Amino acid sequence: MVKIIILNGPNLNLLGEREKDQYGTYSLKDIEENCSKYADENGIKLSTFQSNVEGELVNQIQKSRNNQDGLIINAGGYTHTSVAIHDALKILKIPIIELHISNIYNREEFRHKSLISKVAKGVICGFGVDGYLMSLQAIKKILNK
């Protein structure tokens, strides 16, 4: 069974509550339940983690180096600023998918730069919350090769 973790960064705990035109109407709980269903049907042991705190995300990334086969991360606003998250991800030897609900390249200029892309196998962005399932499918395909 492959082990995959989905990490979500700051403010993503508020999904479905505000900015619905940008991020949709589903809550993070809805998304995680949907991903868990897919995981159960596809032989994936799925873990999920959300934090608004940069260091907690770094801790979780470090833990993943010994007990996960793949990692999906929507680092939220830290995508564009966090050297610490970039450095923690760089240590991992497992495939990493960078995920964004919105298309960060057709938004404000400050969102066009990602510190995560450099250490990610690939990026899924702009497909709304469907991107979470797409990321799971993509990482499963990489791991089954």
Contact letters for ligand CA2, residues 79-108 (x by CB under 6 A): x--------------------xxx-x----
Helix, strand or coil for residue 3? strand
Cβ nearer to ligand CA2, comparing 45 with 121:
121
Clarify whether 100 is annotated catalytic: yes
23, 26, 78, 132: the catalytic one is 23
| DSSP, res 26 | -
53 binds ligand CA2 (CB under 6 A): no
Clarify whether 105 is annotated catalytic: no
User: CA–CA separation, 139 vs 21, rounded Å?
Assistant: 28
Pick from 139, 132, 98: nearest CA to 23: 132
User: CA–CA separation, 45 vs 43, rounded Å?
Assistant: 7
User: CA–CA separation, 18 vs 101, rounded Å?
Assistant: 14
26, 78, 86, 100: the catalytic one is 100
Tell me if 64 sits within 8 A of 71, measured CB to CB.
yes
Site for ligand CA2 (CB under 6 A): which residue of 50, 68, 74, 135?
Answer: 74
Positions marked active-site: 23, 100
Site residues for ligand CA2 per CB under 6 A = 11-12, 14-15, 17-19, 23, 74, 76-77, 79, 100-102, 104, 111
